[in-house]
Amino acid sequence: MRSAPPRLPRRPLVAFVAASGLLGLLSAVPDPGTSIPLQTVADSTSTATVFYYTKTKNWSSTYLHYAPDGGSWTTVPGVRMESACTDWVKKTVDLGSAAGLQATFNNGSGTWDNNGGNNYALGTGTITVKDGVIAHSDPCADTGTGSGNQATVYYSTATSGWTTANIHYAPSGGSWTAAPGLGMESACTGWWKKTLDIGTATSLKAAFNNGNGVWDNNNSSDYTIPTGTTTVKDKAVTTSAANPCATEAPDTEAPTAPTKVTASATDTSIVVSWEAATDNKAVTKYQVTRTGGGKGTVVTDVGSTVYSDTGLEEKTAYTYTVKAVDAAGNTSPASAAATATTGTAAPAPAAGTPLGTDPRKDPIYFVLTARFYDGDSANNRGGSQHTKSGNAANNDPMFRGDFKGLVNKLDYIKALGFSAVWITPVVLNRSDYDYHGYHGYDFYKVDPRLESAGATYQDLINAAHAKGMKIYQDVVYNHSSRWGAKGLYTPTVYGVRDAQWSWYYDEKNEGFEYDGLTVEPKSGKSYYNGDLWSTAEPTGNTCVNWGKPTGGKSAEGYTLYNCQWPSPTSGMFPKAYYHQCWIGNWEGEDSRSCWLHEDLADFNTESTPVQNYLIGAYDKYIDMGVDGFRIDTAVHIPRVTWNRRFLPAIYDRVTQKFGTTAAQNFYVFGEVGAFVNDKWNRGSVNHSAQFFTWKERKEYSADDETAAIEQFTYENNLGTGNQPTSTNAFLNGNAYHTPDHSQFSGMNIIDMRMHMNFSDAQNAYSNGKDSDDSVNDATYSVVYVDSHDYGPNKSSTRYTGGTDAWAENMSLMWTFRGIPTLYYGSEIEFQKGKQIDCGPTCPLASTGRAYYGDNLEGTVTASEFGKADSASGQVATTLSQPLVKHLQRLNQIRRAVPALQMGQYSTDGISGSMAFKRRYTSGSTDSFALVTVTGDATYTGIPNGTYKDAVTGDTRTVTNGTLSVSAPGKGNLRVYVLNGPGKIGTDGPYLK
């Protein structure tokens, strides 16, 4: 490390807060009545008194190196801090008019705590920094020395996991302390203590908080506490209580030193690993010390026994030692040193450049890669559920399709007329049934079950681009696999290998690394899990009731054990990386901060390490040249987090690699699951699709977790009637106007409302129009009938409305605003009426996710969109189906009329059930079209001139601003284009 740490404008790691899901223990948004004021920091606007915890550092002196916001840094090493009380030092600094400061700490001799390279972002008033956690209280305050009545209060944080606690109180008849109250002292593991002088009062009212805005105020009733000793644990108040720490002798025993430390270099990264240390209580973390290179000594706290050190200097030797630390702050001796020498920086990925054109020009074909076409049977894998699911009986492994198959059939997709392909997630997955890609395990690695020699993911991107086709990659920011995320955190489960469970938990093979494809020799499995479990309780375990029977039985009648399966409430996943609760209210705040399912371990997306992990992972795929991201479960991450962290990171990276035009046309669209028929999702602003297309309208707290709750509350309180509106999708009369994207968040949306109503095209059209004024720009919305999750009206089956209805839906989708998107196989009504997904309880062949490749056997070539040059075998039969012919012509027409791709629309002056006018003007292009689907229509007040129908070639000369069109029939349409090209394509079963 250099003499001073990196001064990065990032947020520090903060303590995770479970917003709800702790059985009502915590209130994430203070609801104080008259007892807890809204402010949670001191009123000072010009000074900051910074307290720093020294027990785990063992520094002989401590320096505060800081810079007021907008100001300059102090001279290294900074200002020396003075002793405050046992284990604490402090320093008060003048900030002038600044609202906070960036800070780091050091011992004056080159050893730094710079929050893992992120620096600490601190506000004003009284601030504590303890083991990377920022809070607001005076840890040295003590009111227990007077001569009046005293109350000794013990507060348990064992359930909440708070890393600090404050008591905010008022003696009976007296005034409340200034929020957040007084800092409590650590009494023993899971308990905090404070003795209070309350004068002549005989009781007090109290609430507790973690110093970062999360309160326990007894469900807004506050706690009543008498004199004497009282304990408060999980809302239970015990008066005249025994000291909960009395039977526990102080822990003075340090952990053993970690052993078998190894360091391995790849390019300019080094992975350090070691055997776990032991302790009489438990190891809570490790301190990794790095020396070498030009940046001096760096100490990093690590929660696991693996540390990945990246971005190092080339061809440089680095040495690492590791210490173990327990909950009492006892620190082990340093381990033996391990040294590794970096190589040269990794070469840039193979050439890949996004096409960079307006995404509205490109209709989208959506494929589940593993179920589309099998180009290489050598990478097929069935997984642990191969037999149970019934797939084995069908010789249909879940991982069957692959990139090679997709490359081979790009011409089929092009022949349909699609110029963008949305593919399911590509990252290495890990769970019992993970073919779909939404159980990400290693976000930095492409799943080998999808790749082949000559058909890597990069090869697919390059092959698509060579055909003028875009690749939209499905990405997941909300969750990882049930086994966590490699490189961030993976839990150890209780995997007892008794007569019942030896079939599931594989024998350990220290030299084997899971990749989903390679067969582990001992077990004979590609889905080996021997690296995930431990029968003995691991050092540092945080999972509650490790290894004890739950009292339940598996489906087979086997004994179930605690910590055997992933769970947010078990303590298996650190709060710094994962949320800690199950969703209870799908329209509530907890839908952002809790788990959906045990296979979807929910990231703490407001945590800096998680943000950096995900941003770094998806930078890799941006660099490969993908053209856009479809964002899975976007509604389960707060909009403020998207707008602060992830969306800017995406566009900044594209700009950096490929320039501003590419960034402007990099297409991001989110799954904002509002599965209802109304405009505002059950009245919840925060859970409505259009909400995610906007920037924030006010400043929130700098802390992302606090800001997320503030935003949720603020927007809910504003209500639906006070949300922003836009005219970006609408014509001004007959005129196109430049859209205003200044308040655009960067995220477009899947039009969930049209999707929910596509059982009838008229309903979808009416509902879509009704929402468009609340979307920043609805011309960028993705429009589809059904998907890999649901059919219309949240149906669990693939669309089964009939061929004529499908044709009508398509005619609307390809001419109305938005980007038409088709789920693979819908062009032949593939698996219509079949259950879309039943997990491993039935064969994939019987579902809407069946293998499509049988319909694609043979050869097909396509040099133009919407037309096959040649085709033979079964794929020729597929291409001859009536909906395929309909789809091809719709794509030809849409591609020839810019107004249908990018135009704004209006229904003013128009009679007709599904009738509208669209216009797009840019430079020398001025495209104006009149559209009616199925029914007749009359257009008044339109520009005079010559209109030609793109379907029939009919020509009309308008002299009085009026044009009338007879009903073309169900599934048919008319597209009269001012000064248009005339008939496009040849008549088919519907367009004629």
Lowest mean pLDDT among 118-132, 216-230, 411-425, 971-985: 118-132
d(CA 150, CA 165): 19
- pLDDT, tens digit (0-9, with 9 covering 90-100), for 60-78: 899 999 999 889 999 999 9
* 679: three-class secondary structure by DSSP: coil
For residue 638, pLDDT over 60 is answered with yes
Query: Rounded CA gap, 446 and 470, in Å?
Result: 19
- Tens of pLDDT, residues 185-236: 888 888 999 999 998 999 999 999 988 778 899 988 899 999 999 999 988 9
pLDDT single digits (tens) 291-328: 999 888 988 877 667 776 777 899 999 999 999 999 88
Read off φ and ψ for residue 20, nearest 5 degrees: -160, 165
Between helices 608-624 and 457-466, what is the axis angle to 10°?
50
- Position with higher pLDDT, 158 vs 772: 772
Mean pLDDT taken over the chain: 90
* pLDDT bracket for residue 661 (50, 70, 90): very high
Closest CA to 486 of 675, 634, 306, 360: 306
Q: Of the candidates 727, 851, 837, 736, which has an alpha carbon nearest to the alpha carbon of residue 790?
A: 837
pLDDT of residue 10: 27
Backbone conformation region of residue 514, classed left if phi is above 0, alpha if psi is from -120 to 50, else beta: beta
Asked if pLDDT for residue 837 goes beyond 90, the answer is: yes
pLDDT at 1 over 60: no
Please tell me whether the peptide bond between 77 and the residue prior to it is cis, using omega within 30 degrees of 0. yes
Residue 886: CA count within 13 A, CB half-sphere: 26
Percent of the chain with pLDDT over 90: 73
Q: What is the pLDDT of residues 776-813, one digit of tens each?
A: 999 999 999 999 999 999 999 999 999 999 999 999 99
Beta bridge partners of 463: none
Model pLDDT, residue 24 = 32
In this prediction, residue 469 carries a pLDDT of 97
**What are the b/e assignments for 747-759, b being 16+ CB within 10 Å?**
bbbbbbbbbbbbb
Percentage of residues of the chain with pLDDT beyond 70 = 94
Taking Cα atoms as reference points, which of 468, 402, 506, 442 lies closest to residue 308?
A: 442
What is the predicted pLDDT for the residue at 347? 62
Written as six digits, the tokens of 897 are 């009329």
- CA-to-CA distance for 674 and 781, rounded, in angstroms? 14
pLDDT digits (tens, 9 = 90+) for 6-52: 322 222 222 222 222 322 333 333 333 333 333 333 344 578 999 99
What's the per-residue H, E or C state across 353-370? CCCCCCHHHCCEEEECHH
pLDDT in tens, 133-191: 888 778 887 656 566 889 999 999 887 778 789 999 999 989 999 888 898 888 888 89
pLDDT score, position 677: 80
Structure tokens at 867: 């037309």
Q: What is the pLDDT of residue 26?
A: 39
